[in-house]
Amino acid sequence: MKTVLKADLGFESAFEALKVILSLKKGFEVDFEGQTGKSEIPDFSKG
The residues spanned by each domain of the chain are 2-46
Question: 20: pLDDT confidence band, cut at 50, 70 and 90?
Answer: confident
Q: What is the pLDDT at residue 21?
A: 77
Residue of higher predicted confidence among 44 and 16: 16
Quote the mean pLDDT of the chain. Answer: 63
Q: How far is CA 16 from CA 9, 13, 24, 40, in A?
A: 10, 5, 12, 26
* Tens digit of each residue's pLDDT (9 = 90 or more) over 22-36: 787 776 665 555 565
pLDDT at 18: 78
Does residue 19 register a pLDDT over 60? Answer: yes
